Amino acid sequence: MQEYKHSVSLDVKKCRGCTTCLKRCPTEAIRIRDNHAQINSKRCIDCGECIKVCPHKAKKAVHDSLDSLADFQIRVALPAPAFYGQFDNIDNIDVIIEGLYRLGFDYVFEVAGAAEMVSAYTRMYLERKDVKRPVISSACPVITRMINMNFPYLKDHVMPILPPIEVAASVARERMEAEYPDLDPDQIGIFFISPCTAKVSYVKNGFAGKQNNIDRILSMRDVYFKINDIIEKIDEPEHTAASGMIGIGWASTGGESSAIFNDKYLAADGIENCIKVLEQIDNEDFTGLDFIELNACSGGCVGGAMTVANPYIAQARLQILKRYLPVSPNRPADTKIPEKYFVDESVSFDPGHLLSDDRNTALRMMSEIEAITAELPGLDCGSCGAPTCMAFAEDIVKNETSADECTVIMREMFHDYLVNHKETTLSDAYRDFMDRSGKTREKKSE
């Protein structure tokens, strides 16, 4: 299996090992070792939570720079719908699109327009009798990766239709290649303006093996700071915006669901809530629902780690922008979903947390983990560098750490040492004890 490319990186020099991110990572992918955070790439789902919570700005999103516009002769911008909610005091979308042109893009294709096409295809898909219900949206890459890793029985529920980002890129590339038949296709650069890290990973890894059409992925934050001053000087922009209420609605939770024109849906956001919903669908606790929309970020894409505005303020701004827009000007003429927008297999199971490929070994390790967990204090304090006592026990069983990293155990050991060395001073006792602990660790790693 091809190695998964991630979009969250750590600046070790800035990390203080404070454990804030450790406690918020939904997949227990983070450990604190050698006084700084480490990310287990097999477990990370690129949700960006650790970027949002790090008080020292040590976690960073990986994305392309605006300088990469120079890599192409024709530059096409694909702004995500959440982009429009970043700006204050804007009456219409035209001014933002004009700002993108002035920044150096030659064409702008709104992802909101492609979202309206995907909404129409979703309605067609839900009319089919042979689909597994509830159908789970494939738009949030964190959710599809989470299903991929932890919910194998739900993979057949994921809608096998490309998400709006990819439909927009494919329409943009087709049109550009038709408009510039003599131009080397490599000179056409498709730039997605992303609200989140997960979509960066989507672009790097593709969706269910499909090659995507996006060449560069820009941070919404970077583009916002570049064009905010530009758009303040635009008085009368040309009318170029082509998306409607439905497409813009995809930026926040409930927008995608409301476009299926069917009230048998559930829309949730926030990674913890989404995990609970997936667990309940897995347990068949939900019946009678046709569609599930899950957004890992609070508020939906407006809450992504590469946005600028508070997600709820962005949502309120989008409400105002939507007011005078048509409902859905980008409905496709197709009466059935074009084959090119289908994926053969929506997600493939890729468990990130297996203890061993061998079932017997995994069972033995599990029982060791349970036994060690029972001996640990159960405080889940994080000071050992693992998020919970059970995760710490798992690390011990995998030989990734040793029991004396637990501060409670260490305190008890030190207490016993002091009882047996009453004659030494406290500082000598401490030094001697630490030396001995170091020897103990060396012995374990032999």
To the nearest whole angstrom, how small is the minimum distance from the Cβ of residue 28 to ligand SF4? 8
387 touches 28 (CB < 8 A): yes
Q: Considering the rule CB under 6 A, would residue 20 count as an interface residue with ligand SF4?
A: yes
To the nearest whole angstrom, how small is the minimum distance from the Cβ of residue 341 to ligand SF4? 28
Q: Considering the rule CB under 6 A, would residue 29 count as an interface residue with ligand SF4?
A: yes
| Span interacting with ligand SF4, options 23-31, 152-160, 184-192, 213-221, rule CB under 6 A | 23-31
Q: Considering the rule CB under 6 A, would residue 18 count as an interface residue with ligand SF4?
A: yes
Packing angle between helix 164-179 and helix 197-205, nearest 10 degrees? 60
Reported as half-sphere exposure (CB side, CA atoms, 13 A), residue 113 has a value of: 18
Is the Cβ of residue 18 or residue 66 nearer to ligand SF4 in the bound state?
A: 18
Strand 8-10 versus strand 59-61 pairing type:
antiparallel
Site track 31-50 with ligand SF4 (rule: CB under 6 A), x = hit: -x----x-x----xxxxxxx
To the nearest whole angstrom, how small is the minimum distance from the Cβ of residue 269 to ligand SF4? 15
Q: Considering the rule CB under 6 A, would residue 155 count as an interface residue with ligand SF4?
A: no
Q: Considering the rule CB under 6 A, would residue 331 count as an interface residue with ligand SF4?
A: no
159 touches 346 (CB < 8 A): yes
200 touches 194 (CB < 8 A): yes
Other beta carbons less than 10 A from residue 57's beta carbon: 10
CA distance 195 to 305: 7
Packing angle between helix 164-179 and helix 111-127, nearest 10 degrees? 120
Q: Does residue 443 sit in helix, strand or coil? A: helix
| Span interacting with ligand SF4, options 54-62, 222-230, 325-333, 402-410, rule CB under 6 A | 54-62
Q: Considering the rule CB under 6 A, would residue 8 count as an interface residue with ligand SF4?
A: yes
Q: Considering the rule CB under 6 A, would residue 391 count as an interface residue with ligand SF4?
A: no
Is the Cβ of residue 17 or residue 329 nearer to ligand SF4 in the bound state?
A: 17
Is the Cβ of residue 45 or residue 260 nearer to ligand SF4 in the bound state?
A: 45
**Which residue in the set 5, 16, 42, 123 belongs to the binding site for ligand SF4 (CB under 6 A)?**
16
Q: Considering the rule CB under 6 A, would residue 147 count as an interface residue with ligand SF4?
A: no
φ, ψ for residue 371, nearest 5 deg: -65, -45
What residues between 80 and 99 interact with ligand SF4 by CB under 6 A?
none
Is the Cβ of residue 8 or residue 277 nearer to ligand SF4 in the bound state?
A: 8
Q: Considering the rule CB under 6 A, would residue 15 count as an interface residue with ligand SF4?
A: yes
CA distance 363 to 360: 5
Q: Considering the rule CB under 6 A, would residue 245 count as an interface residue with ligand SF4?
A: no
The count of residues interacting with ligand SF4 (CB under 6 A) is 28
DSSP string, 180-244: -TTS-GGGEEEEEEES-HHHHHHHHH-BTTBPP---EEEEHHHHHHHHHHHHHT-SS--------
Beta-bridge partner residues of 39: 30
**Which residue in the set 56, 102, 133, 364 belongs to the binding site for ligand SF4 (CB under 6 A)?**
56
- Cis, bond preceding 134 (omega within 30 deg of 0): yes
Is the Cβ of residue 48 or residue 300 nearer to ligand SF4 in the bound state?
A: 48
Q: Considering the rule CB under 6 A, would residue 58 count as an interface residue with ligand SF4?
A: yes
Q: Which residues would be at the binding site for ligand SF4 (CB under 6 A)?
A: 8, 10, 15-21, 25-27, 29-30, 32, 37, 39, 44-50, 54, 56, 58-59
